Amino acid sequence: MLARGTAAVWRLYPFTLILKQAVPEAETTPLRLKIDPGSKTTGLALVADVDADAGQVVWAGEVTHRGQAVHERMQIRAGIRRSRRQRNTRYRPRRFDNRRRTDDWLAPSLESRIANVETWVRRLSRLAPVAAISQELVRFDTQALVNPEVSGVEYQQGTLAGYEVREYLLEKWQRRCAYCQASGIALQVEHIVPRARGGSDRVRNLTLACETCNQRKGSRTAEEFGYPQVQAQAGQPLRDAAAVNTTRWALYRRLQQTGLPVEVGTGGRTKWNRTQRGLPKTHWLDAACVGASTPERLVVKGIHPRHIRAMGRHARQMCRMDTYGFPRTGAKATSVVGGLRTGDLVRAVVPAPSVKAGVYVGRLAVRATGSCNIATARQGVVQGIHVRHCRVLHRTDGYRYGDGDTSEGGGASSPALKGGGSAPDI
């Protein structure tokens, strides 16, 4: 369509085309936006229903959050404020008993994760006909387990209930071998009182063990094996607080405010769906497998997830400081020069007589003089490119983009940046 001139690039990230002529009564397939929220990375997938039992992933993305960066920034700010209070250069009343927090307050690092997901739900909804949302809310379904501490459920390997039980056990035993406390290794579901000795398949008789411990224990009970506390711990209920993830619930409430129907799924269901469909474990495939609405057959061929990294936008600090907290630089100059802003992805064409003659694609860092820097992928940072040579490819929006083979600013070789035909995101 780009080659024929019937469409133009509307946005580079996510890659979107706009048709040059209106299509009367155009029919669009409603899409389901599926989300697998994680503490470091959140998987996103747009899924279209092809027919009754098949669905196709249309677009996928993985958003890397900046929780740790936010935390570090907050630490630095706290340090600066503390030193300023001690310095006694002016009167500043102490301030610790006049703070109010709303009930839904979350730590800034957590809030930023939720904001990242909200942003992408909003952006994708604006560009694609998103009709419903699916979100992974909890690790396992307590309702499906029907109060496992009391009644228990039969554990069956390979069934959905089996996956829910497994997720429950992982949470309860903190992803460790109950006997040697080893973590980060493959764990097996293990009967505390072996079945051969009359032990049941109920959750309260199950724990997690590494292969070695499982073998060594053999047909002994946990008590005979020398671990009576495992028996005792299995009978204790899993504290609710341990299983409830505040951030995920907060995200769920925000998603409900979009007005779209929000379906929730469990981690056990996601894993089961993914295993049933023979898909490898990645954030975006996990997202595509969230919830009971996941179609029987999921077409994922040809989809490369867009890697999206949250970067933040501005620093509120007025000027840089030295080690002692005193101003080191002047106040910040303007952040907009010639209509361009630091962080904009630009393509600069510098004409021949100049020593800098050539084409540069990359992120811009504006200077008040108009002579700016461009961080390119190939030549590194190129200095002294005037803004009048620059054309914006993508305005700074708080995120950096990349994928497997072509990352952003990959020079003129990237077809999307040249305006040629590239695999479209949407």
- Closest to Zn ion by CB, 219 vs 369, is 219
- Closest to Zn ion by CB, 161 vs 180, is 180
Contact yes or no for 34/45 (Cβ under 8 A) = yes
Task: Tell me how far, at minimum, the Cβ of 284 lies from Zn ion, in Å.
Answer: 33
Contact yes or no for 372/385 (Cβ under 8 A) = yes
Task: Tell me how far, at minimum, the Cβ of 219 lies from Zn ion, in Å.
Answer: 17
Q: φ and ψ at 127, to 5 degrees?
A: -100, -25
Binding span for Zn ion by CB under 5 A among 18-26, 209-217, 256-264, 403-411: 209-217
List the interface residues with Zn ion, window 320-349 (CB under 5 A).
Answer: none
Asked whether position 179 contacts Zn ion by CB under 5 A, the answer is yes
Asked whether position 189 contacts Zn ion by CB under 5 A, the answer is no
Size of the site for Zn ion (CB under 5 A): 6
Asked whether position 180 contacts Zn ion by CB under 5 A, the answer is yes
Asked whether position 17 contacts Zn ion by CB under 5 A, the answer is no
Q: Which two tokens stand for residue 387?
A: 């803004």
Binding span for Zn ion by CB under 5 A among 177-185, 197-205, 227-235, 363-371: 177-185
Task: Tell me how far, at minimum, the Cβ of 102 lies from Zn ion, in Å.
Answer: 45
- Closest to Zn ion by CB, 213 vs 238, is 213
- Closest to Zn ion by CB, 213 vs 390, is 213
The helices-and-strands tally (H runs, E runs) of the chain is 11, 19
Binding span for Zn ion by CB under 5 A among 67-75, 151-159, 172-180, 312-320: 172-180
Strand-strand pairing, 54-64 and 31-36: unpaired
Task: Tell me how far, at minimum, the Cβ of 342 lies from Zn ion, in Å.
Answer: 53
Q: Which two tokens stand for residue 334?
A: 């303007």
Spatial neighbors of 144 by CB under 8 A, at least 6 apart, are 153, 160, 161, 164, 266
Helix, strand, or coil (residue 237): coil
- Closest to Zn ion by CB, 182 vs 357, is 182
- Closest to Zn ion by CB, 213 vs 374, is 213
Binding span for Zn ion by CB under 5 A among 169-177, 289-297, 349-357, 370-378: 169-177
Binding span for Zn ion by CB under 5 A among 207-215, 327-335, 353-361, 374-382: 207-215
Contact yes or no for 269/135 (Cβ under 8 A) = no
Site track for Zn ion across 268-297, x = CB under 5 A = ------------------------------
Helix, strand, or coil (residue 3): coil
Give 225: exposed, middle or buried? Use CB within 10 Å, 0-12, 13-18, 19+. Answer: middle
Find out whether the peptide bond into 194 is cis, omega within 30 degrees of 0.
Answer: no
Specify the residue for token string 């002047």.
330
Spatial neighbors of 47 by CB under 8 A, at least 6 apart, are 31, 32, 34, 55, 56, 57, 58, 288, 294, 295, 298
- Closest to Zn ion by CB, 168 vs 179, is 179
Binding span for Zn ion by CB under 5 A among 115-123, 205-213, 326-334, 358-366: 205-213
The correct pick among 12, 60, 114, 177 for binding Zn ion (CB under 5 A) is 177
Residue 188: count other Cβ atoms within 10 Å of its Cβ. 14
Task: Tell me how far, at minimum, the Cβ of 155 lies from Zn ion, in Å.
Answer: 19
Of 205, 212, 220, 219, nearest to 179 by C-alpha is 212
Q: Which two tokens stand for residue 9?
A: 């690039």
Task: Tell me how far, at minimum, the Cβ of 229 lies from Zn ion, in Å.
Answer: 14
The correct pick among 210, 262, 289, 416 for binding Zn ion (CB under 5 A) is 210
DSSP for 342-386, please give it.
Answer: TT-EEEEEE-TTSTT-EEEEEEEE--TTSEEEEEESSS-EEEEEE
Asked whether position 364 contacts Zn ion by CB under 5 A, the answer is no
Task: Tell me how far, at minimum, the Cβ of 170 lies from Zn ion, in Å.
Answer: 15
The correct pick among 31, 189, 213, 238 for binding Zn ion (CB under 5 A) is 213
In the DSSP assignment, the letter for residue 204 is G
- Closest to Zn ion by CB, 170 vs 287, is 170
Task: Tell me how far, at minimum, the Cβ of 208 lies from Zn ion, in Å.
Answer: 9
Contact positions vs Zn ion (CB under 5 A): 177, 179-180, 182, 210, 213
